[in-house]
Amino acid sequence: MRNLFTCLLALFMLPFMAAGQQGRVSGKVTDAVASGGIPGVTVMVKGATTATQTDASGNYSIEAAAGDTLIFRSLGFAMQEIPVAGQTILNVVLEDEGTELEEVVVIGYGTQRQRDLTTAVATVKAADIAKTPTATAMQSLQGRVAGVQIVSNGAPGASPTVRLRGIGSFEGNAAPLYVVDGMFFDNIDFLNPNDIETISVLKDASASAIYGVRAGNGVVLIETKSGAYNKPGEIVYDAYYGIQNPQNVLKMANAQQFVQYINGTGSAADIALIQNAIQRYGRSRIDPSLPDVNTDWYNEIMSPAPIQNHNLSFSGGGESTRYSIGGSYFNQEGLLDLQRNNYRRLNFRVKVDSKVKDWLNVGGNFNVSTARQYNGENTAWFLAYFGVPILPVYDDGNASATPVKYANAQQIGYRSTQNPFFPLEYVDNRNHVAKLLGNFHAEVNVWENKLKFRTQYNYGLSFVNTRRVDFAYHDGVTNHQSAIRRRNTSNYDQVWDNFLTYNDDFGKHNLNVVLGQSYRSEYSELLFARGTAINPAPSRAAEQFWYLQNATDFDLNDIGDASDPDYNSINANLQFLSFFGRAAYNYDGRYLLYTTFRRDGNNKFQKTWGNFATVGAGWVLSEEDFFDVEGIDFLKFRASWGQLGNDAISPSVGLPTIEENNGAIDGTRVIGWRLNPTFDLITQWETTVEKNFGLDAQFLNNRLSLEADYFIRDTRNLAVTIVPPVFPSAERRSVGEIRNQGLELNLNWRDDLSEDFSYNIGGNIATLKNQVLGLGGASGLNAGTAEFRQRSIIGQPYQAFYGYEVTGVFDSQQEIQDTYNADFAAERSLVPGDLIFKDQNGDGIIDDQDRVVLGSYMPDFTWGANLGFRYKKLEFAALLQGQTGYNILNRKRGEMIFTNDTNIDADLATNLWTEGGGSSKNYPSASGLRRAWNQVMSSYFVEEGSYFRLQNVRLSYSFLGREINGVTWPEARVTLTAERPLTVFKYNGFNPEVANGVDREVYPIPAIYTLGVTIKL
Partner 1 sequence: MKAIRNIQYGAMVFFGLLLGTSCSGLLDEPLENQQIAEGTDYTQTQNMVLMLYGAYNQLYDFGWEIYPSISVRGDDIDIGGRGDQPLFALADSFRYDRNFWAMNSAWTGLYGDLIYWQGAIEEIQKYQEAGANGTTAQQYIAEIKVLQGFEMLQLARMWGRILIPQSSEPSALLDVELSSFEEVMQYVSARMDEAIPLLPDMRPNQRSDVRGGVTRYTALAVKAIANLELKNYPAVAEATGQIISSGLFSLEPDFYHLFKLRGKLNNENLLELQYSDYGTATGTSNKYLWDFFGPTSWTPTRDGASGGWGFWEPSMKYIQFMLDRGERERLETTVIFTPDGITDVRNAYPNAPSWISNATPDGDVFNNSVRTKFYSGKHYLPSAMLTEGRTAYGENKNFTCIRYAEVLLMHAEALTSGATSSVMTADAAVNAVRNRVGLGPLSGVTLDQVLDEKFAEFAGEWGIRFYDVVRHDQTAELSYGGRTYDATTSRFYPYPLEQQDVLPQLREGN
**List 667, 842, 916, 917, residue binding partner 1 (CB under 8 A):** 667
Smallest distance, Å, CB 509 to partner 1?
20
Picking from 707, 689, 709, the residue whose alpha carbon sits closest to that of residue 698 is: 707
Q: Tell which residue, 117, 23, 69, has the closest CA to residue 696.
A: 117
Residue 299 phi, psi (nearest 5):
-65, -35
Interface segment toward partner 1; rule CB under 8 A; list 111-119, 474-482, 484-492, 793-801: 474-482
> Which residues 27-46 are close enough to bind partner 1 by CB under 8 A?
none
The interface mask with partner 1, positions 799-838, x = CB under 8 A, is ----------------------------x-----------
- Closest to partner 1 by CB, 282 vs 672, is 672
CB of 538 to partner 1, least distance (A): 13
Q: Where are the alpha helices (DSSP H) in 282-393?
A: 297-301, 379-386
Between CA 455 and CA 10 the distance in angstroms is 12
Closest CA to 870 of 976, 980, 763, 954: 954
Tell the burial category of 442 from Cβ atoms under 10 Å away from its Cβ (0-12, 13-18, 19+). middle
SS3 track for 694-723 = EEEEEECCCCEEEEEEEEEEEEEEEEEEEC
- Residue span binding partner 1 (CB under 8 A) among the ranges 26-34, 58-66, 601-609, 867-875: 601-609
Type of residue at 719: A
Minimum distance from residue 450 beta carbon to partner 1 (Å): 10
Residues 75-134 within binding reach of partner 1 (CB under 8 A): none
Render 102-143 in DSSP notation, one character per residue: TSEEEETTEEEEGGG--S-EEEEEHHHHTTS--SSGGGGGTT
533: left (phi over 0), alpha (psi -120 to 50) or beta: left
Among 900, 914, 922, 927, binds partner 1 (CB under 8 A): 900
Strand extents, DSSP E, 700-818: 704-722, 731-752, 757-767, 769-775, 780-784, 789-793, 800-803, 806-809
Sign of CA dihedral 1007, 1009, 1015, 1016: positive
Single out the residue of 23, 37, 413, 438 in contact with partner 1 (rule: CB under 8 A): 413
Among 448, 505, 752, 971, binds partner 1 (CB under 8 A): 448
Does 187 engage in binding with partner 1 (CB under 8 A)? no
- HSE of 543, CA atoms in CB hemisphere, 13 A: 8
Q: Is 573 in the site for partner 1 (CB under 8 A)?
A: yes
Residue range at the interface with partner 1 (CB under 8 A); choices 172-180, 542-550, 650-658, 768-776: 650-658
Residues 924-943 that bind partner 1 (CB under 8 A): 930-932, 935
The least CB distance from residue 477 to partner 1, in Å, is 8
Segment 343 to 402, residues that bind partner 1, using CB under 8 A: 400
Size of the site for partner 1 (CB under 8 A): 118
Could you say which of 94, 137, 199, 483 contacts partner 1 (CB under 8 A)?
Answer: 483
Contact 646, 610 (CB under 8 A): no
Q: At closest approach, how far in Å is the CB of 593 from partner 1?
A: 22
**Which lies closer to partner 1 via its Cβ, residue 670 or residue 1011?**
670
Stretch that binds partner 1, among 122-130, 226-234, 304-312, 599-607 (CB under 8 A): 599-607
Site membership for partner 1, residue 671 (CB under 8 A): yes
Q: Is 662 in the site for partner 1 (CB under 8 A)?
A: yes
Residue 500 lies near partner 1 (rule: CB under 8 A): yes
Contact 720, 709 (CB under 8 A): no
Which residues, at least 6 apart from 157, have a Cβ–Cβ distance to it below 8 Å? 135, 136, 189, 332, 343, 345, 371, 373
Residue (89 or 658) nearer to partner 1, CB? 658
Contact with partner 1 (CB under 8 A) among 21, 22, 279, 479: 479
Measured from the CB atom, the residue of 85 and 533 that comes closer to partner 1 is 533
CB of 620 to partner 1, least distance (A): 32
Binding mask 527-566 for partner 1 (x = CB under 8 A): ----xxx-----------------xxxxxxx----xx---
Rounded distance, CA 205 to CA 614, Å?
8
Could you say which residues in the range 714-773 bind partner 1, by CB under 8 A?
Answer: 723-729
The sign one gets for the Cα dihedral 388, 389, 393, 396 is negative
Helices assigned H by DSSP within 153-224: 205-208
Q: Which of 362, 708, 897, 974 binds partner 1 (CB under 8 A)?
A: 897
Beta-sheet strands, E only, within 625-730: 632-646, 657-665, 668-676, 686-699, 704-722
Which of 410, 920 has the CB closer to partner 1?
410
Smallest distance from partner 1 to CB 605, Å: 10
Q: How distant, in Å, are the alpha carbons of 285, 373, 461 from that of 434?
A: 56, 11, 8
Among 35, 549, 668, 965, binds partner 1 (CB under 8 A): 668
Q: Which is nearer to partner 1, 557 or 841 (CB)?
A: 557
Beta strands in 10-79 (DSSP E): 22-31, 42-45, 51-53, 59-65, 69-73
